[in-house]
Amino acid sequence: MNLKKTLTAETISLNLQGTTKDAVLAELVDLLMASGHIRDRDAVLKAVQEREKRMSTGMQNGIAIPHGKSDSVDCLVAALGIKRSGVDFGALDGQPSVIFVMTVSPDSRTGPHIQFLAEISRPLNDPAVRAKLLAATTPDEVLHLLLG
């Protein structure tokens, strides 16, 4: 898995505007649509929302990793957003989520999604990296923190 090809400056937002789970999901899908990574915005949004209804993707430490599967993508795609004031994503620790990493993969492929999550989880588990992500002022700074 090459994180540098999956997560790009065009799919990073440092100032998400949404104040609800659905609004944040839509904003992240819109990043993927604007970057040309998905063919059908509504189908991808529906896939991610349905997955979220089955089980929240709010983790701990302010992180949420919403994801879904759709035929509207040819390969794994990812977007990252930051909402410093946080959004309730039903996190395991009860805290609002502030860092959102969305992935969408083709219906037929699960391997890349699991590999991406394993790789992105390493830096996100570090409290110092999370603090620097929240202080980042450019998408390139975020990429440097996550990808080295």
Per-residue confidence (pLDDT) for residue 148, from 0 to 100: 77
- Amino acid type, 65: I
What is the value of pTM for the model shown? 0.94
- Rounded to 10°, the helix 41-54/21-34 angle is 140
Q: In degrees rounded to 5, what are phi and psi of residue 67?
A: -155, 165
Residues of the chain with pLDDT under 50: none
Per-residue confidence (pLDDT) for residue 2, from 0 to 100: 65
State what percent of residues in the chain have pLDDT above 70: 99
Name the residue ranges covered by the structural domains of the chain. Answer: 3-147
DSSP annotation of 58 reads B
Report the CATH number of the 3-147 domain.
Answer: 3.40.930.10
60 Cβ contact partners less than 8 Å away, ≥ 6 residues apart: 91, 92, 93, 95
Per-residue confidence (pLDDT) for residue 1, from 0 to 100: 55
Per-residue confidence (pLDDT) for residue 4, from 0 to 100: 74
Per-residue confidence (pLDDT) for residue 5, from 0 to 100: 80
